Structure 1
């Protein structure tokens, strides 16, 4: 952060002992040359320190509260928002490139922080502007129709305009080369299809069982509308009773010997399994399995990203089996392998983003099979010193690094990698702004080459659903934040098409390579 030389600044950070010593400096006025009155310093701090010291800092009569990365306040119930709301609401300023990411509720949270007296009710705000039908499929005509009838977007823009000052790259002569994005659709391998189908059919079998049960069950109701209890069937409980006598039964008879034999078989099988479990020597492990069916959606994402995220094969010594199976078992990896080879031969430098650090581990295993690809890695486990060192070395003038592996959330903000000219998004984020921020790590000031963004999508899978949902969120953001007013119908249609991906590629990579 750079400030004019006449503005006194104070960095309020560090351990508690250091912060306690600086609290006196926060309250002290400083004499500035050319200014007739002493002034308080501009205090610079972090979100974490604000949360820790909110009780002390809120007692100071601040004249202005400025929050960088303002979208951190999109949840009006988060601790940071609650802490900042204890500060005097004299003047407030938010700096953000993404005021609207997922819903109008997030936009309202920012407005509520800026003007709590005006935007005091989320329910009222959402009742003013119902855009639920404007972000789904086939929504373009509904948008135009609603705008003609109710002028929802136009009214919303008029209300928001006094609170927004928006500057975009195209509004400033930054001399940044163009950026284009291509969708690269990849197939699933037989192994992925098997795992994907198994994950899906787990729920389908459950639902079909429940449905069949519901259809077969003929429920009768009494005069009060409650289901009638059915008479108990005759069941032989002799295996559970020490006396061996049959329990009293009503009506329907069952064949005694057949039921007893079924129960005996069941208990024999159960005892056999437990005996084998406790007394049989353990067999050597052949794979490292990660299966958690509590979250089916995450399991599906693991399968399409790489089957080794679910079932990683092992060697005889139970070490991970790192061989060409990493490539052959995954459709995305097969395509990525071809892409990297073509990009490497043409002298490009690549940023490869993924949501999962476990996938970055697999990518590192793959890169051990391609030792000529020099690479670096950045994720949330890296220290600040390691990050700065890797970024500096990657951006060095004569750097031989070809690839930078980054986790989307950790490497999507505050990182300048303009020396790269290609971005590969291995798996898309539900929030499109995260992927856009990741792309801006190289499409920024200092970039001298056109930037190519390649987004890998597994065809006919959850990947397509994620991309479609992200496109809907982008459409909402374009409608409310970027559109000043509606143009002619033909122009509107062209604007809406811009919300969709410009171009997509099938499994063939001829157009890229």
Structure 2
């Protein structure tokens, strides 16, 4: 119920209103214009929100039909003026003087001049205002009067002489309670109709326009009617408003108006029902005679039981103060307690000496955390609280994909928002900003709902609404804002979290520049691949989470990056090698304080096993022919020597398309033809395109070796299991081929790429994970648009069609299935066209991963990368195709798992044994130098350095699938089904017994006649070689096969 000001303040307001110059000029006008009008209105300032509310009541004066002035009904002050919008009618809404007004009802000029329209500031004016001298406006003190029932005598009433002039205004006063005695002291009136002074119980509500539907009554009150005046009183006896009484006969059910309120008369009550506060300055309602009550010798009898308002029964009791202590029990079983602040930390941040309490992770989340996740939450908490040894309050959580970085982050956020080690200091972070790729916004929101529900934490998403960030900054209820990198703005918050933080790889990027404007000290980066190409990216990430820790980039490059890169370059001196190793160890030691990196192998006890395969597939005859056309040796050597970067990149792109599918080259040729491209690319491409069959279709996978093997594997999965498959590619053109193939084979599928609407992405993922193979068999995924963050646990098979130069893109994409919630063993296949650029890209990835593993402290990596940039030898090797190899990568390793044959291998073997003749010492003539042997010696040194870079592949199991018994080494039954099977040949007929025939067939001399399979002798699309790696040991394979035979729901997760 709205409260009005006391009567004393009303008097001052009325004096102020009466002295208003504009009102005096209005009242002193000789005559009124017939176009003048006066309105009771509701007003508000401009509001942009959808559900607008009125802020107050007012009076609108319209003179001469155009000029309008708005007054506040509370204090009579002018709050706006302007030109009115004609015509005026009840319920009309328009703007005037920067205020929105709604016309409630029209009043007369007399009501306006009398002041009754100004709420509680009403008085009865007996004479025109212009006849009053200014000095008579001040009120004089009038002592209140009081009657004692049954004790009134002539001696007890003394009339005070009036010293005021005849022009003195009659000031109305509220009545004091009348304490009656006798039988009729509390009797209700018998008649519901009253013509004299009376008090009524009423219901009230604010007046509504006639065009609006009437709302329910808002509250209860009392109405006192006396001497043509109505006074509205609250249930506590406070004056709310007054108005003139036009109707002298009141009855139950009548409606009347007091100020901006509509009243409904219920029934009459006695004056004793009013509970007036004893300290109230309110006086009698009417114009009582000016007399005072002298002290009486008899005591005043106690009043009857006062009226108790109903609200007292339903009032919310005040909340007791919470005792100082932790939010959760730190001594409970399996409780996760954060590190307590140190003495130095308290001296710096606890300036008011507040009591220190334990910070305990909410048990709702604590029971869901695994040991490595618990360690991650504690690590991030210590970093953001400044409890680690490094300067700064940021960190990098660099766990591999699938280790639950999102759950760890949500646990930290929930802890920081609700708790603080200093009791009574409020939460550590009241607002949290999560910055992530746009494709992951809805995924983050779904994860919050998954772990905390929808009601515990307010999560806002900034996607299309530009006002979301402003509302988040000003609202106290909104605590977490999820925003894409493209919509990042500067907002005052307590914690910033950057998912997929490797996007901050350039300090000059626009996103990094925006981050520099943030004043937040607590910053966390989540990235499964923190270092992708060079140490400059690592410096950018550290500069974000702990600004200034590694100095400026120029100093960092001089002290760390340059010495480390020199020590990894071929032919470095021993001094450079020693300095580089020392700086690398120093940098790694610094990083350990704020970087936490764990590998996915720790999930072995929680998730089903994971099997990874690098599948080398022989190219088709069409692919080899197109490679020969494009790679003209003379022209390739020319632009390699000329260091033509543009030509090199264009040729690399062409070779990649041929490796994936020759049909992609046709679109490239058409584009070059439209652009009138000249030189090597145009001529060679046109000659290569002519080799395509005239009836080639986009859904025809028989043109490419990789696509043939993929189609065979999909058919095997579809026929032999109920599993689903994810197909990942870095190019939308490749996804177009796969989509056409799925349509042609009637494979149900979903597709997620850069053209997929953001609102549909999470819907596709959820539907794919919940449905069976018949509804959704294949999920086509673009690694750039959906290769990070999403969970495709509905599939247990993932095929990577092409590789990217950046290894993090492939690692992120291949980690979409082996995650929490997966119930089946996971099989991941990376398809490579043997002997082509596919293998060179894969080899380059292994080299780059050596840099990341060296700095991140991976103990399992044995790679020692010695090259971090392209050289001429690298380019010459990239543009070389090996048509006779089953795996060029395996050939480089010179692995002893099989016997190598061929002249090239013999030469390498001889060189390894030191059989190469040495040149004589001292000066030699040019005729003594063998150019071919010298070039071969340089190539041999290059191959040896590259072999050292690929040493980590020794951890994989190598399987030559061209061997007749290769199937027994392959753990995957479905992959074993698509291996090439040698055609059976009938035994030559021999005379003699069956025993003699068998002995003849088994004659050791006949073994030499068996034709050995090579990459040239098998059809295109044959799986020629496999690299196999599993998350379980060989001894556990048997138990795994038993698990596969059972119901998938019985597999523990």
Counterpart of 2:853 in structure 1 is 478
Aligned partners of 1:483, 1:467: CA distance in 2, in Å?
Answer: 20
Counterpart of 1:229 in structure 2 is none
Match of residue 701, structure 2, among 316, 327, 352? 327
Gaps of 5+ in 1: 31-39, 213-291, 315-319
Aligned partners of 2:820, 2:568: CA distance in 1, in Å?
Answer: 32
Does 2:387 match 1:13? no
Give the 3 Å change call, closer, same or farther, for CA 138–379 of structure 1 in structure 2: farther
Give the 3 Å change call, closer, same or farther, for CA 432–485 of structure 1 in structure 2: closer
Give the 3 Å change call, closer, same or farther, for CA 138–486 of structure 1 in structure 2: farther
Residue 85 (structure 1) shift? 0.7
Does 2:459 match 1:26? no
Does 2:486 match 1:48? yes
Say whether the 8 Å CA contact 1:76–1:109 is kept in structure 2: yes
Aligned partners of 2:530, 2:586: CA distance in 1, in Å?
Answer: 18
Give the 3 Å change call, closer, same or farther, for CA 14–460 of structure 1 in structure 2: closer
- Superposition TM-score, scaled by structure 2 size: 0.35
Match of residue 844, structure 2, among 466, 469, 482? 469
Aligned partners of 1:418, 1:205: CA distance in 2, in Å?
Answer: 48
1:98-497 mapped onto 2 (5 Å cutoff): 98-129=529-560, 130-132=563-565, 146=577, 150-171=581-602, 175-201=606-632, 204-205=634-635, 207-208=637-638, 295-311=650-666, 321=695, 326-347=700-721, 348-371=723-746, 373-400=747-774, 401-483=776-858, 497=951
Residue 207 (structure 1) shift? 4.5
Aligned partners of 1:207, 1:441: CA distance in 2, in Å?
Answer: 41
Say whether the 8 Å CA contact 1:186–1:507 is kept in structure 2: no
Aligned partners of 2:616, 2:479: CA distance in 1, in Å?
Answer: 54
Tell me whether 62-71 or 155-164 shows the greater mean CA deviation. 62-71
Give the 3 Å change call, closer, same or farther, for CA 462–383 of structure 1 in structure 2: same
Tell me whether 387-396 or 460-469 shows the greater mean CA deviation. 387-396
Residue 46 (structure 1) shift? 2.7
Residue 431 (structure 1) shift? 1.3
* Secondary structure, aligned partner of 2:822: coil
Q: More relative contact order in 1 or in 2 (CA 8 Å, sep 6+)? A: 1
Residue 415 (structure 1) shift? 1.9
Say whether the 8 Å CA contact 1:189–1:330 is kept in structure 2: yes
Give the 3 Å change call, closer, same or farther, for CA 48–376 of structure 1 in structure 2: same
Tell me whether 362-371 or 422-431 shows the greater mean CA deviation. 362-371
Residue 406 (structure 1) shift? 1.2
Tell me whether 77-86 or 129-138 shows the greater mean CA deviation. 129-138
Residue 134 (structure 1) shift? 6.8
Q: Alignment RMSD, CA only?
A: 4.0
Say whether the 8 Å CA contact 1:428–1:463 is kept in structure 2: yes
Residue 502 (structure 1) shift? 1.6
Aligned partners of 1:351, 1:26: CA distance in 2, in Å?
Answer: 40
* Secondary structure, aligned partner of 2:855: helix
Gaps of 5+ in 2: 1-405, 419-429, 431-456, 671-693, 865-947, 977-1053
Tell me whether 502-511 or 98-107 shows the greater mean CA deviation. 502-511
* Secondary structure, aligned partner of 2:853: helix
Say whether the 8 Å CA contact 1:353–1:406 is kept in structure 2: yes
* Secondary structure, aligned partner of 1:311: helix
Aligned partners of 1:323, 1:495: CA distance in 2, in Å?
Answer: 41
Give the 3 Å change call, closer, same or farther, for CA 109–421 of structure 1 in structure 2: same
Bigger Cα Rg: 2
Give the 3 Å change call, closer, same or farther, for CA 66–333 of structure 1 in structure 2: closer
Give the 3 Å change call, closer, same or farther, for CA 94–210 of structure 1 in structure 2: closer
Structure with greater helix percent: 1
Residue 420 (structure 1) shift? 1.2
Aligned partners of 1:367, 1:138: CA distance in 2, in Å?
Answer: 51
Residue 475 (structure 1) shift? 1.4
Give the 3 Å change call, closer, same or farther, for CA 355–107 of structure 1 in structure 2: same
* Secondary structure, aligned partner of 1:112: helix
Q: Deviations over 1:226-279 (max 9, x none)?
A: xxxxxxxxxxxxxxxxxxxxxxxxxxxxxxxxxxxxxxxxxxxxxxxxxxxxxx
Does 2:531 match 1:82? no
Aligned partners of 1:486, 1:199: CA distance in 2, in Å?
Answer: 37
* Secondary structure, aligned partner of 2:596: coil
Match of residue 502, structure 1, among 929, 934, 956? 956
Give the 3 Å change call, closer, same or farther, for CA 415–364 of structure 1 in structure 2: same
Aligned partners of 2:640, 2:614: CA distance in 1, in Å?
Answer: 39
Q: Deviations over 1:21-62 (max 9, x none)?
A: x625514556xxxxxxxxx94444332221xx44xx3xx4x4
* Secondary structure, aligned partner of 1:45: strand
Aligned partners of 2:595, 2:734: CA distance in 1, in Å?
Answer: 39
Residue 501 (structure 1) shift? 6.8
Aligned partners of 2:495, 2:622: CA distance in 1, in Å?
Answer: 58
* Secondary structure, aligned partner of 1:442: coil
Say whether the 8 Å CA contact 1:424–1:454 is kept in structure 2: yes
Q: Deviations over 1:133-156 (max 9, x none)?
A: 6767999xx99x947994343222
Residue 70 (structure 1) shift? 1.4
Say whether the 8 Å CA contact 2:495–2:522 is kept in structure 1: yes
Residue 324 (structure 1) shift? 9.9
Say whether the 8 Å CA contact 2:567–2:579 is kept in structure 1: no
Give the 3 Å change call, closer, same or farther, for CA 398–42 of structure 1 in structure 2: closer
Structure with greater strand percent: 2
Aligned partners of 1:300, 1:210: CA distance in 2, in Å?
Answer: 15
Say whether the 8 Å CA contact 2:568–2:577 is kept in structure 1: no
Give the 3 Å change call, closer, same or farther, for CA 190–137 of structure 1 in structure 2: farther
Residue 18 (structure 1) shift? 2.7
Residue 331 (structure 1) shift? 1.2
Aligned partners of 2:955, 2:474: CA distance in 1, in Å?
Answer: 52
Tell me whether 184-193 or 127-136 shows the greater mean CA deviation. 127-136
Give the 3 Å change call, closer, same or farther, for CA 41–90 of structure 1 in structure 2: same
Say whether the 8 Å CA contact 1:135–1:472 is kept in structure 2: no
Say whether the 8 Å CA contact 2:612–2:828 is kept in structure 1: yes
